[in-house]
A and B are shown apart, each in its own frame.
Chain A
Amino acid sequence: MKETSEILVGTKKGLFVLRGPRGQAMDVVTRQFEGQAVEYAIRDPRTGLYYASVTHGQFGPHVYIAEDPTGDWEQADGPAFPEDTEAAVSRVWVITPGLEDGVLWAGVAPAALFKSQDSGRTWALNRALWDQPSRPDWEGGLGGLCLHSICLWPGQPDRLTLAMSAVGVWQTEDGGESWSHYSEGLVPRYLPEDARADTIMHCVHKLQQSPVEPNTFYMQFHGGVYRSDDAGYTWNDIAAVGDPNGLPSDFGFPIVADPRDPNRAWVIPLVADIDRVTPEGKLRVFETSDRGSSWRARAQGLPQENAFLTVLRQGFCHDGANPLGLYFGAESGAVYGSADGGATWSLVAANLPPIASIRAAG
């Protein structure tokens, strides 16, 4: 069994690298990018290279690469929009290693997809998605118009499924030459009923795919938790709010799918869009192990009194190990971890700046 972990925590005031026993209190071994917002940081397991998306309050967003996250970071060239788009990247929300050697994908705001073919050193805009005829009608949520979820299809490098806020789920099967929008079953309750049928204004908060059963997707929506069994074409609401075995709320940001069990996923519900804190002052992760037919609270070790936390869309991850490790970080600056698939939790780190993202590096 894997005994130790390295966790990358992107915060409003820098990148924190934590190392220590899996799912338990860890040491902060370095703080990088002091004073800057680190939106996202990952380690590419293929190469061992680290990537960080950093937004300076005045001098804008940049992507950095490092062999050692405690050492020097090299600034990448881009992502940046071509001149004819008249756009400028305001934030890099996600960086995802691709399937082919050297390929990485980045999702940015305003909502767009960039591809690197040289391990992140240079980036090129995916024009087909940028040039979608519906783009003039695209709108963002509170976090802005952004591309935050990139799902890869195992063994199919030309197939990608994306989620954007607030323009739903998009898929390509030809390497990004063309894109289709899927939304059947999603209910945007924030729109008048008569406006829901034809809209593309689908505020997906986070999308996850089962790597072992790739037709299975889990989604946290802006009011709704959904599963798709058919590659994202159609969606079924699985929140079951009000049911004794349901969720206390169907609002939240992150969702994590089990990398080995397609029936299993976790969410961290918040009260509602008008009150984005954990319900009843209890910090609870909810797990389904039956594809969303039922949910149970996983709260052992988490505070259950006066705990009003907010966990953002990139603030929850697994470590891929067996048994599965889970980690989440809150805007309160607290990081919690579990080394047993959520059965028990421990405080991993406290008093960090507000946390935007958390990813297990190893």
Chain B
Amino acid sequence: MSTIILPTALKSRASGRDRVAATGSTVGDCLRSLELAHPDLKGWILDDQGRIRQHVNVFVGATKAPLDAAVGPDDEIYVLQAISGGQA
């Protein structure tokens, strides 16, 4: 299983955990399985159409990764708040 590492802002939506195991062979699979396991995260990382939100960055290890990026069982998937977002 891969591990998804969540930002502090999302910990409370994942039962207080910032590292969550996820199943799937792609980033998209893993993020969708994360939503199923933690419904409070629905709509937070992926938008209405299942796309990564504009101001969210997802990395696999050190590489920025789209939804169809392959992941292995030892990979760490980082969900990050992009510096392009937020509120002034």
Contacts and interface: CB of A to CB of B under 8 A. Distances in A.
Given A12-B87, A35-B87, A75-B40, A58 B82 contact: yes
A60 B44 CA distance: 6
Interface residues of B, number: 21
A81 interface: yes
B48 A88 contact: yes
A64 to B, nearest CB: 12
Contacts of B51: 88
Q: Which of B47, B50, B87 has the most CB of A within 10 A?
A: B87
A83 B49 CA distance: 6
Q: Which of B42, B47, B51 has the most CB of A within 10 A?
A: B47
Interface of B: 9-10, 40, 42-45, 47-51, 53, 55-56, 81-82, 85-88
A89 B87 contact: no
Interface string A47-87: 00000000011111010000000000001010011010011
B47 A37 contact: no
B49 A58 contact: no
A107 B55 CA distance: 23
A171 interface: no
Nearest to B80: A58
Contacts of B48: 80-81, 87-89
A36 interface: yes
Nearest to B84: A58
Q: Which of B48, B85, B86, B88 has the most CB of A within 10 A?
A: B48
A263 B22 CA distance: 61
A242 B86 CA distance: 43
A57 B86 contact: yes
A313 interface: no
Closest 10 CB pairs of A and B: A57-B86, A58-B85, A88-B47, A88-B48, A80-B48, A58-B55, A59-B44, A58-B81, A57-B85, A81-B48
Contacts of B82: 58
A66 B9 CA distance: 21
Nearest to A80: B48
Contacts of B50: 83
Interface string A246-289: 00000000000000000000000000000000000000000000
A58 B43 contact: no
B15 to A, nearest CB: 15
Contacts of A87: 48-49
A59 B53 contact: yes
Nearest to A14: B87
26 contacts: A12-B88, A35-B87, A36-B87, A37-B87, A57-B55, A57-B85, A57-B86, A57-B87, A58-B56, A58-B81, A58-B85, A59-B56, A60-B44, A60-B47, A60-B53, A75-B40, A80-B43, A80-B48, A81-B48, A83-B49, A86-B49, A88-B47, A88-B48, A88-B49, A88-B51, A89-B48
A87 B47 CA distance: 9
A359 interface: no
A36 B44 CA distance: 13
Contacts of B87: 12-13, 35-37, 57
Nearest to B44: A59
Contacts of A77: 42
Contact of A59 (B45, B49, B88): B45
Contacts of B86: 57-58
A62 B49 contact: no
Contacts of A36: 87
Contacts of A37: 87
